[in-house]
Chains A and B, each alone.
Chain A
Amino acid sequence: MSCTVRIPSPLRSYTAGAVTVAADGATVAEVLASLERHYAGIRFRMVDEQSRIRPHIRLYVNMEEVKDLSRPVGSRDTVHVICALSGG
């Protein structure tokens, strides 16, 4: 099952500048694994070694924020990766 992933600017060095990419997977965890297969290193910048979403990263499936990486993803869904940071 293939979905669309929207890549934020800090991670586009991994996708050769692509803003949206296709990824496979029936859950967010599988989508992230699919991204890692295509863009080596990208997952660890978003998710730590304990499989927790990093503090300044937010993941959404369509309009819904993801707290659990086992959240299902459908073929018409878009996974948004959001970078959230403030200050200088």
Chain B
Amino acid sequence: MTSTLWIGTRKGAFLLRPGARGRGWKLSGPQFLGHIVHHIVQDPREPKVLVMAAKTGHLGPTVFRSADRGRTWREAVQPPAFRKAGDAEEARAVQKVFWLTPGHSSERGTWYAGSSPAGLFRSEDGGERWQPVGGFNDHPQRPQWAAAATPDGDLLHSINVDPRDPRHLYLAISPGGVFESTDGGAGWAPLNEGCAADFLPDPNAPYGHDPHCVVVHPSAPDRLYQQNHCGIYRLDRPERRWQRIGDAMPRKVGDIGFPIVLHPRDPLTAWVHPMDGQTVWPRTSIAGRPAVYRTSDGGRSWRRLDRGLPPSQAWLTVLRQAMCSDGRAPRLGLYFGTTGGEVWAGANGGESWRCIARHLPEIYSVTCAA
């Protein structure tokens, strides 16, 4: 495990690097102490470039960009913002930039951002200037799609670009559902058939669902995985109906959680971090016994991975951007950060875990950088 980890927290950004000769981890930072950092993402097309979504308690949201692997940062010239509303229109303002996704490999410098309230933004100059994507933000049905905000606001996240086609996009709104565009973001349609939404009056509603994390498999992009508020799902396109693969999880554990992480090459392998979604939704480790679960057969079965994790009285919460892999198969490293400020590393695909940082602020995101 030799990746660098960027940790986005409620109080700034931190960096974890492997120690000399692979011994331990070295924590550095904070950068932007006091800033609320939701996401820090490396550009796979230009690895020196990183983009960070940030705000502070007082000030409006913005984006910072680094062109030297995070040594120095510069604020976006034009951060994500909705267009000026007309007289009879809802006057929306970005409260936070929540999600960042690099664009297609053929579109150097292109990035997408998701906000709360749910908005989609695009930059074509490496994150310097952001434009609202009118096809989504001004879609006549958007007010219905994102009608029910959570206490933290409705969130647009899980922006996925089909690696075969830069015009084929997926995104998710919590709550609101999964949506697909095949024309570069000009038009959008819901893609939620088969997903449960037990909090809605209509169990077969076309939208209004609560996807927590949706990922397109990078090497088999017709396969999507989803960790939803109501279960774990898989979708094999061109099918439109999600299959609930979380039904194969142990009944006492259930299939509720925030993140889902995919193997970089094997489309049958994925990891989840289940949480307690019963009664009033504690969203902590089930029974105080944290574990990661892995499927190696596309969701037909799941294996518990908890060696090294606390065996009891550990009430961890792992948010949707706070779990990642280093992509270094076959001895793939997995990482997750907790709202209690711990970072855990799972060697060999999560076979054994150890805590590599603690006492950090509330962790919002953990991302790997090459």
Docked CA distance A78–B79 (Å): 28
Q: In the bound complex, how far is the Cα of B85 from the Cα of A58, in angstroms?
A: 23
Q: How far is the CB of B349 from chain A (nearest CB, A)?
A: 37
Which one of B56, B58, B75, B76 has the greatest number of beta carbons of chain A within 10 Å?
A: B58
Q: Which of A46-86 contact B (CB under 8 A)?
A: 46-52, 54, 56-57, 83-85
| Chain A residue at minimum C-beta to C-beta distance from B83 | A49
Determine if B75 and A41 form an interchain contact, defined as CB atoms under 8 angstroms apart: yes
Known: A44-B81, A85-B57. A52 touches B62 (CB 8 A): no
B40-81 near A? 1/0 per residue, CB < 8 Å: 000000000000000011111010000000000001110101
Measured CB to CB, the closest approach of chain A to B99, in angstroms, equals 19
Least Cβ distance of B280 to chain A in Å?
22
Question: Once bound together, how far apart are the Cα atoms of A44 and B56, in whole Å?
Answer: 13
In contact, A46 and B59 (Cβ under 8 angstroms): yes
**Inter-chain contacts of B6 with A (CB < 8 A):** none
Q: Which of B62, B82, B85, B92 contacts A45 (CB 8 A)?
A: B62
B77 near A40: Cβ-Cβ < 8 Å:
yes
Q: Is A26 located at the chain interface by the 8 A CB criterion? A: no
B-side contacts of A50, CB under 8 Å: 82, 84-85, 91-93
Enumerate chain A residues within 8 angstroms of B92, measured Cβ to Cβ: 50
> Which residues from A are CB-within-8-Å of B76?
41
Q: Is there an interface contact between A49 and B84, defined as CB atoms closer than 8 Å?
A: yes
Query: Which chain A residues in 7-56 approach chain B with CB under 8 Å?
Result: 8, 10-11, 40-41, 44-52, 54, 56
Taking a contact as CB atoms under 8 Å apart, the answer to whether A54 and B56 are in contact is: no
Q: Given contacts A44-B81, A49-B82, A49-B84, are A54 and B91 in contact (CB under 8 A)?
A: no
Complex interface: chain B residues within 8 A of A57 (CB)? 58-59
Does A49 contact B75, Cβ atoms closer than 8 Å?
A: no
What is the interface residue range for chain B against chain A? 10 to 19
| Residues of A with C-beta under 8 A to B83 | 49
Which of chain A's residues has its CB closest to B80's CB? A49
Do B91 and A44 touch (CB < 8 A)?
no
The answer, among B56, B58, B60, for a CB contact under 8 Å with A48, is: B60
Given known pairs A40-B77, A49-B81, A50-B85, the reply for A11 and B91 (CB within 8 Å) is no
Selected contact of B58 from candidates A10, A44, A47, A52, CB within 8 Å: A10
Closest to A47 in B: B60
Smallest CB-CB separation from B132: which chain A residue?
A49
Distance of A50 Cα from B76 Cα, bound (Å): 19
Nearest neighbor of A40 in chain B, beta-carbon distance = B77
Q: Tell me the bound Cα distance from A46 to B92 in angstroms.
A: 15
Task: Give Cα A46 to B58, complex, Å.
Answer: 8
When distances are taken between beta carbons in the complex, the residues of chain A under 8 Å from B82 are 49-50
**Interchain CA distance A44-B77 in the complex, whole Å:** 10
| Pair B56/A10 contact, Cβ less than 8 Å | yes
Say yes or no: B62 contacts A44, CB within 8 Å.
yes
Cα–Cα, bound, A11→B75 (Å):
13
Flag if A85 contacts B60 (CB, 8 Å). Answer: no
Given contacts A50-B91, A52-B91, contact A45 B60 (CB under 8 A): yes
The digit string for B91-102, where 1 denotes a CB below 8 A from any CB of A, is 111100000000
Question: Quick one: which of B83-115 are within 8 Å of A by CB?
Answer: 83-85, 91-94
B93 contacts A85, CB within 8 Å?
no
B32 to A, closest residue via Cβ: A13
Show 18 A/B contacts (Cβ-Cβ < 8 Å), sorted by A: A11-B59, A41-B62, A41-B75, A41-B76, A41-B77, A41-B79, A44-B62, A44-B79, A45-B59, A45-B62, A46-B59, A48-B94, A49-B83, A49-B93, A50-B82, A50-B93, A52-B93, A56-B58
Q: State the A residues within 8 Å of B (CB).
A: 8, 10-11, 40-41, 44-52, 54, 56-57, 83-85
Q: Mark B residues whose CB is within 8 Å of A.
A: 56-60, 62, 75-77, 79, 81-85, 91-94
The 10 A-B pairs at the shortest CB distance, nearest first, are namely: A48-B93, A49-B81, A45-B59, A83-B58, A50-B91, A85-B57, A56-B58, A45-B60, A41-B75, A10-B58
